[in-house]
């Protein structure tokens, strides 16, 4: 019984507690944020104390009818870092109504 409890305690210590926590751009370098987005393709990341955004590496991670737009985030080493893109609804500049 003691060995089982000891083994369970040791194994619990190996599991990262922050596995499901969102990454925080302010605690990462610009390169680290860019690399994270590039590797995952799409990631939800904290950009401020109460703000977050879903960043993507390309339009393939957006819904049909959406386009990508550059998105800058604050990082540990830069005030503004081009981290990737956000998906936005396509809004034509001109409407041609008949």
For the chain, the structural domain boundaries read: 22-89
Q: pLDDT tens digit string along 35-78?
A: 999 999 999 999 999 999 999 999 999 999 999 999 999 999 99
Is it the case that residue 4 has pLDDT exceeding 50? yes
CB 29 within 8 A of CB 75: yes
- Please state, for a pLDDT cut of 70, what percent of the chain lies above it: 76
Q: What is the pLDDT of residue 75?
A: 97
pLDDT the model gives residue 17 = 46
DSSP conformational letter for 31: H
């Amino acid at each position: 019984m003691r060995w089982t409890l000891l083994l369970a305690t040791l194994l619990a210590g190996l599991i990262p507690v922050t596995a499901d926590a969102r990454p925080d751009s302010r605690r990462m370098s610009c390169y680290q944020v860019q690399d994270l987005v590039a590797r995952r393709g799409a990631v939800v990341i904290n950009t401020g104390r109460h703000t977050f955004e879903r960043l993507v590496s390309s339009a393939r991670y957006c819904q049909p009818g959406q386009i990508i737009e550059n998105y800058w985030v604050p990082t540990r080493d830069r005030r503004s870092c081009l981290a990737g893109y956000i998906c936005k609804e396509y809004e034509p500049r001109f409407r041609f109504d008949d």
